[in-house]
């Protein structure tokens, strides 16, 4: 015997909503549908035509209503038609209508005036303001419910308060610490967070609590987002990823609502990791001056409140990344919020080798000399190294090979740094000779000085970056500290190209523009930042902001001192220029032989150049 089942109670709609829908339908029918079935059409005419037809005895009936005159009259075909015109303040209109003849049986025009019945002010207010507002609210509410019903409870329907964060389940995050190379110190700092998420009991036993937040700081491309995903992958916990710009909205209060919703979801899925990329979009220092962004500040205040409010023992960890740590609000960086600051610096020599090894594992390759490639990519980020490996793979495919070689990687380094070769760029014989002497001038000055990086390659093949040639120097090791002699010798090397043009051709060209820019920048840094000028000793004359984004320099001295700094920079550059000119003059025979060899071959290696130089004394 089947048990009795109770049928679900019928769902009744809101009766008030039904009334509103009924009123809306009637208004639409009255305004749009009913006039379509009105067989009588009214033509519009002017008041003068109306008076003319009245005087001609063609008008049958006249009705004045709401400032309009409606009348029926005989048309050109002798049939009665309806017309409309605007009412004009005409005192003789009634007399005209009484005196005029009409085609009616009694010969008189039938006319009347309808006085409109005015509604009460309360009714007008209800009809003009309250009713449209209620109708709009019901339409919006019904549409919102319909969308939510279609998307389901897990749908990503954008609404007020929805965080919009990308949520990855613990099984979706495949990135681990093995995918991150060249950042051993950062991985070591984050390993403790992973261990806490794995085994919080041993920390709770001693009374320790998990750091609430860790701030990842470093230049672009150093792997901040990658290592945040690796933490989630190692800990096997859900991962909430969101950009700081997604919190900033047009309407005040929406960003704060997104923050509340994000932390509510995170608490429900704890333990988990929240990652906010480019947090400086909402975490900038609050400004009391007029013109502050109220929405951004409210969002920041809500973030600070949420970070104070949640329990760190639940295992909710906040990771944030930025390239501009100096712009963040001090309240965001205090202990109890972002407790740790993890530096993600550009990788050193061994770090670059490790990064190249990780990316080469994803492509087919032959035995590759990682040392050569790593030495040639000093100052490159992890993203740039990944691009270099990808360019090498593309080059191997273009040349019909199935594996990447060391030559592919070396060429891809030059492609990323100086651009691809411009095979269609044809230099005249004279221009080619000038470029050859220019590049040999750089190389010869470099090898004749101490503490200069060895010359790796010299070429006069034009590149898409605009360079007509270049001299590549590769340090054998990683240089961390630079002495005054190191920097001065670098400036002299940069001046070698222009000095060779002056010595050989007796004139100068625009080819030294980039050399001039770099030499001036180095000389100015020696004076203003590094304290390498005897005149100013250890006095700081310049500050650098946004160091991870190229650096913005600002002098911190008077205008008189700034002018004197220019003179000191000029002195350093001029001394380096004189030194380069002296080296090339003393070794003019090597300069001529090497330039002729380079014009013939277009590209020569460092070993070939050193064979031409031979055993010559180094200047210093």
**What is the pLDDT at residue 404?**
92
Q: Say if residues 244 and 286 touch (Cβ distance below 8 Å).
A: no
C-alpha to C-alpha distance for 30 and 276, rounded to whole angstroms: 55
Average pLDDT over residues 270-287: 85
**What is the pLDDT at residue 39?**
47
Residue count of the chain: 620
Per-residue HEC secondary structure of 13-66 comes to: CCHHHHHHHHHHHHHHHHHHHHHHHCCCCEEECCHHHHHHHHHCCCEEEEEEEC
**What is the pLDDT at residue 245?**
81
DSSP-derived secondary structure for 470-496: EEEE--SS------HHHHHHHHHHHHH
Can you name the residues that pair with 72 across neighbouring β-strands? 61, 82
C-alpha to C-alpha distance for 490 and 576, rounded to whole angstroms: 9
pLDDT at residue 138 is higher than 80: no
- Name which residue leads in pLDDT, 107 or 25: 107
Q: Say if residues 217 and 332 touch (Cβ distance below 8 Å).
A: no
Q: Which of 103-112, 442-451, 534-543, 597-606 has the lowest mean pLDDT?
A: 103-112
Q: Say if residues 319 and 216 touch (Cβ distance below 8 Å).
A: yes
**If one looks up domain 166-343 in CATH, what number appears?**
3.40.50.300
Question: Percentage of the chain surpassing pLDDT 70?
Answer: 83
Mean pLDDT of the chain: 81
C-alpha to C-alpha distance for 527 and 553, rounded to whole angstroms: 13
**What is the pLDDT at residue 150?**
47
Instruction: Domain 429-613: give its CATH superfamily.
Output: Peptidase M41 (1.20.58.760)
Residue 608 phi, psi (nearest 5): -65, -40
**What is the pLDDT at residue 29?**
54
Q: Say if residues 578 and 502 touch (Cβ distance below 8 Å).
A: no
Token output for 486: 């190191």
- Name which residue leads in pLDDT, 143 or 16: 143
C-alpha to C-alpha distance for 372 and 375, rounded to whole angstroms: 5
**What is the pLDDT at residue 204?**
78
Q: Which of 241-250, 320-329, 533-542 has the lowest mean pLDDT?
A: 241-250
**What is the pLDDT at residue 375?**
87
**What is the pLDDT at residue 355?**
92
pLDDT at residue 119 is higher than 70: no
**What is the pLDDT at residue 193?**
82
User: pLDDT by residue (tens digit) across 44-99?
Assistant: 888 888 888 888 888 888 888 877 888 888 887 778 888 888 888 788 888 788 87
**H or E segment to which residue 294 belongs:** helix 294-309
pLDDT at residue 574 is higher than 90: yes
C-alpha to C-alpha distance for 269 and 261, rounded to whole angstroms: 13
**What is the pLDDT at residue 17?**
56
C-alpha to C-alpha distance for 528 and 330, rounded to whole angstroms: 28
CB atoms under 10 Å from CB of 291, counted, come to 5
pLDDT at residue 444 is higher than 50: yes
**What is the pLDDT at residue 11?**
43
Catalytic residue among 439, 485, 560, 607: 439
Residue in 599, 585, 610 with CA at minimum distance from that of residue 435:
599
Residue 123 phi, psi (nearest 5): -65, -40
User: pLDDT by residue (tens digit) across 483-538?
Assistant: 999 999 999 999 999 999 999 999 999 989 999 999 999 999 999 999 998 889 89
- Name which residue leads in pLDDT, 243 or 312: 243
Token output for 37: 């079935």
The angle that helices 606-613 and 588-601 make with each other, rounded to 10 degrees, is: 150
> Which 3 state secondary structure label does DSSP give 503?
helix
What is the radius of gyration, based on Cα positions, of the chain? 41
C-alpha to C-alpha distance for 348 and 70, rounded to whole angstroms: 92
Token output for 123: 């009714």
**H or E segment to which residue 74 belongs:** strand 68-74
CB < 8 Å & 24+ apart, contacts of 66-70: 66/114, 66/116, 70/42
DSSP-derived secondary structure for 377-405: TTT--HHHHHHHHHHHHHHHHHTT-SSB-
Exposed, middle or buried by CB within 10 Å (0-12, 13-18, 19+), for 48?
Answer: exposed
Token output for 556: 């911190």
User: pLDDT by residue (tens digit) across 348-407?
Assistant: 888 999 999 999 999 998 888 888 888 888 888 889 999 999 999 999 999 999 999 998
Average pLDDT over residues 452-478: 85
**What is the pLDDT at residue 160?**
40
pLDDT at residue 106 is higher than 60: yes
- Name which residue leads in pLDDT, 121 or 416: 416
pLDDT at residue 151 is higher than 80: no
C-alpha to C-alpha distance for 446 and 433, rounded to whole angstroms: 20
C-alpha to C-alpha distance for 603 and 598, rounded to whole angstroms: 6
Q: Give the architecture (CATH level 2) of 349-418.
A: Orthogonal Bundle (1.10)
> How do beta strands 603-605 and 455-459 pair?
antiparallel
Residue in 552, 557, 555, 556 with CA at minimum distance from that of residue 326:
552
Q: What angle do CA 38, 40, 42 make, to 5 degrees?
A: 115
Average pLDDT over residues 458-485: 84
pLDDT at residue 20 is higher than 50: yes
Give yes or no: 439 in active site.
yes
**What is the pLDDT at residue 484?**
92
**What is the pLDDT at residue 155?**
38
User: How would you classify residue 616: left for phi > 0, otherwise alpha for psi between -120 and 50, otherwise beta?
Assistant: beta
**What is the pLDDT at residue 153?**
38
User: pLDDT by residue (tens digit) across 322-360?
Assistant: 988 888 888 888 888 888 888 988 898 889 999 999 999
250 band by pLDDT with thresholds 50, 70 and 90: low
**What is the pLDDT at residue 614?**
82
Q: Which of 110-124, 301-315, 465-479 has the lowest mean pLDDT?
A: 110-124
Greatest mean pLDDT range, 57-71, 213-227, 293-307: 213-227
**If one looks up domain 16-114 in CATH, what number appears?**
3.30.720.210
Show me where the domains of the chain are located: 16-114, 166-343, 349-418, 429-613
C-alpha to C-alpha distance for 56 and 534, rounded to whole angstroms: 111
Sign of the Cα pseudo-torsion (341, 346, 352, 356, in order): positive
């Amino acid at each position: 015997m089947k048990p009795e089942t109770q049928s679900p109670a019928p769902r009744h709609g809101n009766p008030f909503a039904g009334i509103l829908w009924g009123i809306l339908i009637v208004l639409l029918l009255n305004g749009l549908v009913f006039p379509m079935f009105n067989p009588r059409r009214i033509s519009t005419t002017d008041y003068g035509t109306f008076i003319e037809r009245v005087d001609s005895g063609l008008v049958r009936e006249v009705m004045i209503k709401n400032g309009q005159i409606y009348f029926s009259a005989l048309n050109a075909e002798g049939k009665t038609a309806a017309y409309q015109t605007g009412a004009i303040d005409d005192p003789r209109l009634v007399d005209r209508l009484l005196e005029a003849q009409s085609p009616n049986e009694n010969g008189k025009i039938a006319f009347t005036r309808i006085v409109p019945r005015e509604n009460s002010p309360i009714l007008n207010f209800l009809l003009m303001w309250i009713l449209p507002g209620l109708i709009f609210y019901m339409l919006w509410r019904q549409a919102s419910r319909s969308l939510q019903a279609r998307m389901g409870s897990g749908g990503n329907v954008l609404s007020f308060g929805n965080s919009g964060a990308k949520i990855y389940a613990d099984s979706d995050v495949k990135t681990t610490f093995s995918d991150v190379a060249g950042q051993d110190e950062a991985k070591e700092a984050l390993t403790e967070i992973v261990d806490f998420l794995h085994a919080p009991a041993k920390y709770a036993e001693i009374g320790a609590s998990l750091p609430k937040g860790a701030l990842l700081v470093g230049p672009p491309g150093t792997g901040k987002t990658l290592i945040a995903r690796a933490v989630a992958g190692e800990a096997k916990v859900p991962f909430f990823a969101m950009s700081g710009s997604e919190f900033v909205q047009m309407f005040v209060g929406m960003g704060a609502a997104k923050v509340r919703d994000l932390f509510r979801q995170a608490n429900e899925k704890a333990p988990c990791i929240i990652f906010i990329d480019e947090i400086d979009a909402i975490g900038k220092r609050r400004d009391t001056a007029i013109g502050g962004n109220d929405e951004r500040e409210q969002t920041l205040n809500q973030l600070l409140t949420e970070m104070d409010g949640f329990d760190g023992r639940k295992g909710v960890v906040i990771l944030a990344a930025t390239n501009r740590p100096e712009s963040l609000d001090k309240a965001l960086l205090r202990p109890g919020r972002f407790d740790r600051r993890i530096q993600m610096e550009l990788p050193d020599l061994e770090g670059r080798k490790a990064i190249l090894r990780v990316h080469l594992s994803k492509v087919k390759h032959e035995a590759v000399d990682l040392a050569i490639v790593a030495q040639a990519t000093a100052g490159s980020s992890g993203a740039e190294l990944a691009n270099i490996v990808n360019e090498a793979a593309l080059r191997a495919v273009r040349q019909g090979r199935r594996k990447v070689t060391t030559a592919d990687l070396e060429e891809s380094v030059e492609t990323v740094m100086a651009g691809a070769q411009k095979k269609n760029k044809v230099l005249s014989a004279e221009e080619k000779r000038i470029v050859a002497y220019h590049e040999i001038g750089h190389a010869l000055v470099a090898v004749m000085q101490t503490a200069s990086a060895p010359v790796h390659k010299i070429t006069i093949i034009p590149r898409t970056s605009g360079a007509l040639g270049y001299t590549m120097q590769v340090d054998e090791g990683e240089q961390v500290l630079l002495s005054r002699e190191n920097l001065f010798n670098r400036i002299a090397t940069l001046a070698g190209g222009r000095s060779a043009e002056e010595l050989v051709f007796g004139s100068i060209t625009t080819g030294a523009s980039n050399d001039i820019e770099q030499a001036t920048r180095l000389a100015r840094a020696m004076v203003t930042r590094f304290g390498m000028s005897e005149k100013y000793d250890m006095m700081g004359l310049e500050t650098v902001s946004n160091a991870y984004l190229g650096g913005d320099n600002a002098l911190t001295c008077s205008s008189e001192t700034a002018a004197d700094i220019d003179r000191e920079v000029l002195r350093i550059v001029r001394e380096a220029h004189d030194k380069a000119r002296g080296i090339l003059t003393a070794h003019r025979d090597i300069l001529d032989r090497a330039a002729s060899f380079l014009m013939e071959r277009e590209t020569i290696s460092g070993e070939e150049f050193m064979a031409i130089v031979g055993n010559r004394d180094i200047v210093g």
